[in-house]
Structure 1
Amino acid sequence: MEDKSYVTLFIDDDVQPLGTFPAPVSFDLDTKKLADGPHVLKVVSKDHRGKEGIKTIPFIVRNGPAIAIEGIKKDEVVDGVLPLMINAYGKGDQKTFMLHGSETPQSIPAWFIILLIAFTAWAAYYLITSGAITLFK
């Protein structure tokens, strides 16, 4: 009997394993062969005495283009006409970065506009009360 432990790798509920390898193993999981969405990596180990251990690791694959939507949120109650801004862009690959289309334009948030108005009002108040601006001499 060998003194080696072996690991067998499965994806989701597949009965056909990705492979069986002597431990320790370095393995490159190619997610491009998987559909986007949730998956489970199941690792089954067997030691030299025949004892078995199982570990499952859930993960989510997102190889397809990212989709950004502004104008509606998940489970939001809406009515009337909704102006939507939708952008879909790929991230390129690990060797190149795609700049075109990788940023989603967004509108200026309302809190920023309110903060800008408040700061401008405070600055005007400060200049007038400090005597820096003399309107009547």
Structure 2
Amino acid sequence: MPENNAMVYLYIDDGTHPVAALNTPVVFNLDTTKLTDGVHTLKIVSQFDQKEGLKIIPFTVRNGPIIHIEGLSENETVSGTLPLMLNAYDTGRKQSFIIKGSENPRTIPVWVWLIALVFVAWAAFYLVTNFSL
């Protein structure tokens, strides 16, 4: 009886040996803990009869702790001494509900201060103009 399913071979990055050879349809769990943090590619080669298909999917692995820095941005021009606030933390298991970065102390953004200042100025103007004797 002829086989009606395709065979797929999974390659990570520029690997010459597949990490898996599977008959489709199949559910495959890709263990990213064995990969370094950074950009990788998953190459899927399918074979059915005498035909071959190819799909390449770039993805980024971030298994290590998240690093947050205040006081220096990418490609910023700086001089002198810079006070930097650094924090590194793990996001935990992906199955649990965790607000990403919730335990990271951050400064209040300038736009929040501006909105608060505008509101206080408007409230003061309102009070002075409507309740003056």
TM-score w.r.t. the length of structure 2 is 0.88
SS at match of 2:55: strand
- 1:71-110 CA distances to partner (integer Å, 9 max, x unpaired)? 11100000011111111001122466789x8521111222
Instruction: Specify the code of the residue in structure 2 equivalent to 1:125.
Output: F
Decide which moves more: 2-11 or 26-35. 2-11
1-structure distance, mates of 2:16, 2:128: 78
Per-residue deviation, 1:121: 1.6
Hey, what does 2:104 align to over in structure 1? 104
Hey, what does 1:36 align to over in structure 2? 37
1-structure distance, mates of 2:132, 2:63: 59
Corresponding residue pairs, total: 131
- 1:43-79 CA distances to partner (integer Å, 9 max, x unpaired)? 11000x2211111111000000000111111000000
Does 2:91 match 1:62? no
Hey, what does 1:129 align to over in structure 2? 129
- Tell me, yes or no, if the aligned pair for 1:89 and 1:102 is still in contact at 8 Å: no
1-structure distance, mates of 2:55, 2:94: 29
Instruction: Specify the code of the residue in structure 2 equivalent to 1:64.
Output: G
Q: Hey, which bits of structure 1, 4+ residues long, moved more than 6 A?
A: none
- Percent identical residues: 50
1-structure distance, mates of 2:31, 2:38: 14
Instruction: Specify the code of the residue in structure 1 equivalent to 2:21.
Output: T
2-structure distance, mates of 1:114, 1:102: 23
Gaps of 5+ in 2: none
Larger gyration radius, structure 1 or structure 2: 1
Gaps of 5+ in 1: none
Decide which moves more: 104-113 or 75-84. 104-113
SS at match of 1:9: strand
Instruction: Specify the code of the residue in structure 2 equivalent to 1:46.
Output: Q
TM-score w.r.t. the length of structure 1 is 0.85
